[in-house]
Amino acid sequence: MPRIKHDEPTTHRTMQVVNHIRSLIENGTLQPGDKIPPEREFARQLKISRASLRTGIGYLAAMGVMKIRHGVGTFVADGPPEFGKASLGMMGALHGFQTWQMFEARTILESNIAALAAERGKDEHHAAMAEEVAEMFAAMNSPADFLIHDLLFHRIISQASGNPILASVIETITSALYDKRRKTVERSTDMRQSAEMHREIYRAIRNRKPNEARKLMEEHLHQAQVAQGQERPPDKKAATSLVAAVK
Amino acid sequence: MPRIKHDEPTTHRTMQVVNHIRSLIENGTLQPGDKIPPEREFARQLKISRASLRTGIGYLAAMGVMKIRHGVGTFVADGPPEFGKASLGMMGALHGFQTWQMFEARTILESNIAALAAERGKDEHHAAMAEEVAEMFAAMNSPADFLIHDLLFHRIISQASGNPILASVIETITSALYDKRRKTVERSTDMRQSAEMHREIYRAIRNRKPNEARKLMEEHLHQAQVAQGQERPPDKKAATSLVAAVK
DNA sequence: GCCCGTGATGAGGTCAGACCACTATTATAC
DNA sequence: GTATAATAGTGGTCTGACCTCATCACGGGC
C-alpha cells in the first residue's frame, strides 16, 4: 500500500503560534488588553524564527483577536468581539452580499435579541438603555450624535441578551452598515419618530415583554430600511442556483 | 544634508496586498476557485518582497477568503462563505462563549432561515433536500455518514434561504460545533427520529409553510441540544432530568 | 521655570536570498 | 502495465540586516 504520510497539522509554525497564544488566553495568562512580549524575544522563547512568529500573529490580528500597534507593541484585543472587520466587506465582494441581505440578517438577529433581552435584561441594562434614549431625544438636532446613541442603544440590548455570540455577529454586520448609514442619516426627517420607537422598545424590554420587544424591533428596523431605500428588490431572481456548490 | 527619503504615503504593505487582491476580486479578474500567481512572481509584479506578500495572503487566508495548499498553490475560496474557521473558537476562549450559547444562536438563525427557505426555496433546493433526507434514512447504521448528510441538509436550507450572509454565519457556528457533535453522535439512539424530523422539515419547506418550518426546526435543534446534554444551565433549580434524556 | 526640539530607545515593518517540505507529474525500471 | 524513482513547481521557514514609527528623557532657548 502507498505510504501515507498524513502528518498532523501541528507542524505548521503558524498554527503552533496560534495554539500557543490560544492556550495562554485560555489559562488566563493573557487577558484582553494585555501586551505580548516583543517579537524578537517571543520568537526566541518559542524557538522559532521571528518571521514565523509574525505570520502567526498576523493570522490572529486578521481574526481580530490581536491588535498590532507599530512602534508600541502587540496587544490582545479588548473591545467588543468582532469577527474580522474587513471580513464581511471582503466576503461581500466575493459572494455578492447585498445591502438588503444585511438588513434582513440584522432584523432577524436583533428582533430575537430584543426578545432575549426582555427575558434576561438586568437593572443596569435598563438604566443604560434609558440613558441612551434620553440622549437621543436630546440630540434631535444633531444627526451625528443621534446616530452614536442609536448604535450604543442597540449595543446595550445585545449585551442584555446574555448571548455574546449573537452580540458579536450583530456587531460585525452593524459596523459594515455603519458607513452607509452615516451618509444618509443627514436627510433623516424621522428622528423624532425613531426616538419614540426606541423608547417603546426600551419599555417593552424593561417590562419583560419579549414578544412585544421582538415585534417593535422588527418594525423599527423595517422603517430604518425603508428610510434608506434599501428594500429588497421585487422577487425577480437572477438566481445563480449552484446547488453543486454545496458539496 | 541627507534628504528625506519621501516615499509615497502607501499604507502598510499588508493592506496594499489585501486591497490589490480585493480589487481583483471586485472587478472579476479573480473568481472563487481561481489560483493566484506563484508567490515569487506575484511579489515581483507588485514590486514588494515575497515576505510582505505572504503577510497579506496570510491575512486573507485567516479571514477565509483565500485557501493555501502547500506544494500546490494559493486559491480564492470557493466553498460556502465562512468567517475565519478558528475565529469563533478563539473568540470563545477570549470572551467565554458557552456551548449553550452556540446552540441558542444556531436555533435562532436556523429556524428563521428555514422560514425564509420555505418562502423562497426553488425546485432544485427541494430536490437536493429530498436527496439528503433519503441518504439519512439509508445511513441509519452509520453515524458518521448520517452526520455528513445531516450537515449537508442544513447547508442546503441555508442556500435556499437566499441570504448568503445568514448562511455564512450559520456555517461558522456549525463548524465550531461539529467536533463536539462528532464525539456524541455515536451513542445517538434517535437517528430514526432525527431522520423523520428532517423529513418533516423538508415537507414544510417544500409546501411553503414558513411558520411550520420555523417551528419544526426549532424543535429539531432543541432535541439535538438535549441529546448532547448542552441545555442552558437553569438560573435556579438544577435539572436532574438531563441524564435521563440522553437515554 | 516652562516649552519645545532632538536624539536615544525599543517596538513593529520590510527586505533579500538561501534553503526546506510538500504535491503532482513524468521518466524509468521491472 | 504497474510500481518506483527522479524532478519540477509551489508554499514554508530561516537568518540577519536595515527601515519606520511612537515614546520619553534630556537640554538649550524663551
pLDDT interval class at A177 (50, 70, 90): confident
- The reply to whether B238 falls in a domain is no
Asked if the model's pLDDT at residue A72 lies above 60, the reply is yes
B144 with B112, same domain: the answer is yes
A71 with A173, same domain: the answer is no
A219 with A141, same domain: the answer is yes
Quickly give A55 CA vs C24 C1' distance in Å: 27
Strand D positions within 7 A of protein Cβ atoms: 4, 9-17, 19-23
- The reply to whether B5 falls in a domain is no
DSSP B139-192: TTT-HHHHHHHHHHHHHHHHHHTT-HHHHHHHHHHHHHHHHHHHHHGGG---HH
Percent with pLDDT over 70 in chain A: 83
DSSP state of A167: H
- The reply to whether B38 falls in a domain is yes
A69 with A157, same domain: the answer is no
Residues of chain A contacting B163 with CB distance shorter than 8 Å: 101, 104-105
Is the Cβ–Cβ distance between B52 and A54 less than 8 Å? no
- Protein residues with Cβ atoms closer than 7 angstroms to any atom of nucleic acid strand D: A 2, 11-14, 48-52, 55, 69-72; B 5, 7, 36, 38-40, 50-51, 54, 68-74
> Per-residue pLDDT tens for B160-202?
999 999 998 898 888 877 766 666 655 556 788 888 999 999 9
The total number of structural domains in chain A stands at 2
A68 with A92, same domain: the answer is no
A24 with A109, same domain: the answer is no
Residues of chain B contacting A244 with CB distance shorter than 8 Å: none
pTM of the model: 0.81
Q: Which of B13, B91, B111, B221 should one mutate to test binding to chain A, selecting the residue with the greatest count of A CBs within 10 A?
A: B91
Q: Which of A14, A88, A168 sits opposite B91 (nearest CB)?
A: A168
* Residue A24 belongs to domain spanning: 10-76
List the CATH number of the domain containing B61: 1.10.10.10
B71 or A92, higher pLDDT: B71
> How many alpha carbons fall within 13 Å on the CB side of residue B40?
0
B40 or A1, higher pLDDT: B40
- The reply to whether A48 falls in a domain is yes
- The reply to whether A4 falls in a domain is no
Is the Cβ–Cβ distance between A220 and A88 less than 8 Å? no
> What one-letter code names the amino acid at A171?
E
A153 with A212, same domain: the answer is yes
B207 C-beta neighbours (distance < 10 Å), count: 11
Residues of chain A contacting B165 with CB distance shorter than 8 Å: 88, 91, 97, 101-102, 104-105, 173
A92 with A178, same domain: the answer is yes
- The reply to whether B83 falls in a domain is no
- Chain B 143-172, residues with CB within 8 Å of chain A CB atoms: 152, 155-156, 159, 163-166, 168-169, 172
Nearest CA in chain B to A12: B70
Residue B175 confidence (pLDDT):
81
Asked if the model's pLDDT at residue B76 lies above 70, the reply is yes
A185 with A70, same domain: the answer is no
List C-alpha distances in Å: B57 to B13, B52, B122.
11, 9, 37
B162 with B107, same domain: the answer is yes
List the CATH number of the domain containing B134: 1.20.120.530
> Is some CB atom of chain B closer than 8 A to the CB atom of A109?
yes
Please list the residues that pair with B183 across neighbouring strands: none
- Tell if B19 CB is < 7 Å from nucleic strand C: no
Residue B182 confidence (pLDDT):
62
The residue assigned the cell 423599527 is A220
> Is some CB atom of chain A closer than 8 A to the CB atom of B173?
yes
Residue A2 confidence (pLDDT):
38
- The reply to whether A96 falls in a domain is yes
Task: Chain B: give the shortest CA distance to residue A187, in Å.
Answer: 28
